[in-house]
Structure 1
Amino acid sequence: MLPTPRFSCDYEKVYEPSEDSFLLLDALEGEQKFLQSFFTSKLTVVCEVGCGSGIVTTFMIQNNIPSEHAIYLPTDVNPWAMDSMVETASLNNCCTEMLSPIRTNLTRSIRRREIDLLVFNPPYVPAESVPHMPAESEAKEGDWLDLALLGGDDGMVITWKLLDSLDEIMAPGGVAYILFCARNHPERVVEIMSTRGWKSELTEHRKAGWEVLSVYKFYR
């Protein structure tokens, strides 16, 4: 079993790694051999959407996932997550020369068809609506955390924005790993994505407290 990275973040401003984060780490560990054989010598662009504390991207850097020839472009709308990402990587003695965190909404600041490997632990908790983006000067304690948790109707509003853009953002032969809870109805998502030409595989599935979580791989 690969070690879990140490992490650094202000829990009042940045989502603290929890069962969903660790499930995603387990999924990536289980897919390590596949990814390292799939992405061999080419320079690979890796994007973790919503990097938060940076634990997932740091895990990938530590373990050459998908390969030693990779650049990492983690994104988050939360300005505090940018600092946490760099601090977590440094705390684990990761080389940061190939790490470039980007503060942006989803993948908006990344060029089209650029991403080879995408990882997303979305705000998946069902809620009446998706929280509005707070102004930094007016943000209250917990505002940034709500953005990381609440996903609107069925918890899928933000996830569908990403899924709907996969054809535009993924490089040819790209692979995406996305986490769902049971209330997101991932089986229905898989059916819809299959009509768009995306194959999928369930890579991890686990009951975590009151929730059932799963990680699916999407690829062409």
Structure 2
Amino acid sequence: MTDLADRRGAETQVYQPAEDTRLLAEAAVSEIEPPARVLDVGTGSGYVAATVADETGADVVGSDLNPYAVRQAADRGVPVVRSDLVSAFRDGAFDAVVFNPPYLPRDDDAAREDWMEVALSGGDDGRAVVEPFLDDVGRVLAPDGFALVLVSTLTGVDEVIEYAGERGFSAVAVREESFPFETLSVLKLWK
């Protein structure tokens, strides 16, 4: 009984698939071709990783800092590593990296008391996790590799593109979806 209770409690600590998750998965499926080696950063429930693996045949691994997410993704059958962004991976290891970052602007001083807050909060401007990701993702990409990053108008799409450009990336939006309070875009970034 305890194991079942632990699993149910863990679900409240892991970001579950929503509109943004599905948009990123759709973009990844349309952009990734086997035999690609793919990393799903911040894999959460493992939905994007599992979808990409199932629909493209690519070799996909997930990573997440949240231990509950690591367990949930593994339960879904996703090979997963506990890691902060791409820090656990070697240079040039992936043909594609996909990432649905925490992008909601939140007060930097607000308490990050649980894993769901960590999964949602992108800091004061919504880019507190996106920028460190962009600083290091180029290191783990193979020479012709690319990253797919979900961003919101709440985060500042132009600001993310500018920041990526300062790190040597070209960018194009490959998917967009509008909602009453924001537009979500999946950016494809390559060097």
Q: TM-score range by the shorter chain?
A: 0.7 to 0.9
Q: Could you give the per-residue CA deviations for residues 47-78 of structure 1, whole angstroms, max 9, x where no partner exists?
A: 100001111000011112xxx4x432210011
SS at match of 2:95: strand
Give the deviation of 1:88 after TM superposition.
2.3
Question: Structure 1: how far apart are the matches of 2:63 and 2:111?
Answer: 18
1:59 and 2:47 matched: no
Distance change >3 Å, CA 130–CA 11, structure 1 → 2: farther
1:199 alignment partner in structure 2: 170
2:98 alignment partner in structure 1: 119
Q: TM-score, normalised by structure 2?
A: 0.86
Question: Structure 1: how far apart are the matches of 2:17 and 2:117?
Answer: 15
Q: Could you give the per-residue CA deviations for residues 12-59 of structure 1, whole angstroms, max 9, x where no partner exists?
A: 11111111111112222333xxx32xx5xxx53211000011110000
Unpaired runs of 5+ residues, structure 2, are: 1-6
Q: TM-score, normalised by structure 1?
A: 0.76
2:4 alignment partner in structure 1: none
| Matching residue's letter, 1:53 | S
2:153 alignment partner in structure 1: 182
Contact 1:130 1:151 in 2 (8 A): no
SS at match of 2:79: coil
1:1-220 equivalences in 2 (<5 Å): 10-31=10-31, 35-36=32-33, 44-64=36-56, 68=57, 70-89=58-77, 99-129=78-108, 143-220=114-191
SS at match of 1:62: helix
Question: Structure 1: how far apart are the matches of 2:69 and 2:54?
Answer: 19
Contact 2:86 2:136 in 1 (8 A): no
1:137 alignment partner in structure 2: none
Detail structure 1 runs of 4+ shifted over 4 Å in the superposition.
Answer: 130-133
SS at match of 2:176: strand
SS at match of 1:187: helix
| Matching residue's letter, 1:17 | P
Unpaired runs of 5+ residues, structure 1, are: 1-7, 90-98, 134-139
Contact 1:126 1:183 in 2 (8 A): yes
Q: Could you give the per-residue CA deviations for residues 58-108 of structure 1, whole angstroms, max 9, x where no partner exists?
A: 0011112xxx4x43221001111112112223xxxxxxxxx5200111111
SS at match of 1:180: strand
Contact 1:75 1:106 in 2 (8 A): yes
| CA RMSD, Structure 1 to Structure 2 (Å) | 2.2
Question: Structure 2: how far apart are the matches of 1:73 and 1:150?
Answer: 24
Question: Structure 2: how far apart are the matches of 1:209 and 1:27?
Answer: 21
Question: Structure 1: how far apart are the matches of 2:73 and 2:24?
Answer: 17
How many aligned positions are there?
184
Identity %: 31
